[in-house]
Amino acid sequence: MNQTASLDLPLPACNPWLAHSVTIDRITPEVAGVSTYHLRFVDPEAARNYRFRPGQFNMLYLPGVGESAISLSADPRGHVTWAHTVRTAGNVTQTLAKLGVGGSLGLRGPFGSCWPLDQAMGKDLILVAGGIGLPPLRPVIYEIAARRDEFASVAVLYGARTPDTLLYQAEYDAWRKAGIDLHLTADMSGAGWNGAVGVVPLLLDRLPLADAARTQVWMCGPEVMLKYTVKSALRRGIPAGNLWLSMERNMQCAIGLCGHCQLGPEFVCRNGPVFPWNRMAPYLDVKGL
């Protein structure tokens, strides 16, 4: 460490803080306040090398405004543009929403853990999502659709506040055709809605299970939704070790160095965002942790 010989070392080339320049190739308006931005790398080498695993996220950077953690909602087999589905919230996401096609921003990533696809092969899989919790699971849906034979039954349980805020409605037919059993619910009904009304965990309460012991449940959404989904799953006899969830905390660095995303002993950015529920269980019920 302390050697005169090494005083003027060159700085290492790999810098996790350095964003790549990307442009908005296409924008898909999803529902009110939510759009999918298809981002393209400017640097051809970055474009060639970029890969991610379902569940991972990027830091999207709007210079002069700030960075936000945004999950990839893209097809992991894609290789030209990378989809990010973003709900307009505060400064960063509002600035993003004002950029049109061709707009320039920064991207660094991918970061974090991924959904345990390898462990789910040959098993029954239930994906549970609430509201803006679906985008981080969409890469899983793409992946399953491409490798459907490798899984037993696959169900997607998805809910939003109102029917018109359900994301990706244009894709539902394709998912169903690919052999995915899709169940939808809305907290409040609306015109023309003949799906279920109520919170997402109720869908799980009612879902027939072929074999609870070999069923995996992966979930993403508000923490209350996660809590009740876990309760429902455990009640249905699904082993605690088969439950996985994606967590959210304030993030500044995404590399476990800024301290913001801590939840008990975990750095959500680095050890998560996808965690086995067992690891989160001691901390989820503690208020203000």
Q: Which of 42, 46, 89, 121 binds ligand FAD (CB under 6 A)?
A: 89
| Residue 131 contacts ligand FAD per CB under 6 A | no
User: Would you state the torsion angle of the CA atoms of residues 163, 74, 42, 62, taken in this order, to the nearest 10 degrees?
Assistant: 50
| Residue 279 contacts other proteins per CB under 8 A | no
Binding to other proteins (CB under 8 A): which residues in 28-47?
Answer: 42
**Residue number, nearest CB to ligand FAD:** 90
Q: Which stretch binds ligand FAD (CB under 6 A): 83-91, 170-178, 184-192, 227-235?
A: 83-91
Binding to ligand FAD (CB under 6 A): which residues in 39-78?
Answer: 57, 66-71
Which of the choices ligand FAD, other proteins, none does residue 189 contact, using the CB cut-off of 5 to 8 A by kind? none
| Residue 9 contacts other proteins per CB under 8 A | yes
Q: How far is the CB of 102 from other proteins (least distance, A)?
A: 9
Q: Which stretch binds other proteins (CB under 8 A): 113-121, 122-130, 206-214, 258-266?
A: 258-266
Which of the choices ligand FAD, other proteins, none does residue 264 contact, using the CB cut-off of 5 to 8 A by kind? other proteins
Q: Which of 251, 263, 274, 280 binds ligand FAD (CB under 6 A)?
A: 251
Judge contact between 159 and 199, C-beta under 8 A. yes
Query: What secondary structure, in 3-state letters, does 63-92 show?
Result: CCCEEEEEECCCCCCCCCCEEEEEECCCHH
Specify the residue, 44 or 64, whose C-beta has the smaller distance to other proteins: 64
Q: Which of 25, 196, 270, 284 binds other proteins (CB under 8 A)?
A: 270
Residues contributing to the site for ligand FAD (CB under 6 A): 57, 66-71, 85-87, 89-93, 132, 135-136, 248-252, 273
User: What are the residues binding other proteins (CB under 8 A)?
Assistant: 1-4, 6-9, 11-12, 15-21, 23, 42, 61, 63-67, 89-90, 104-106, 248-250, 252-253, 255-260, 262, 264-265, 267, 270, 282-283, 286-289
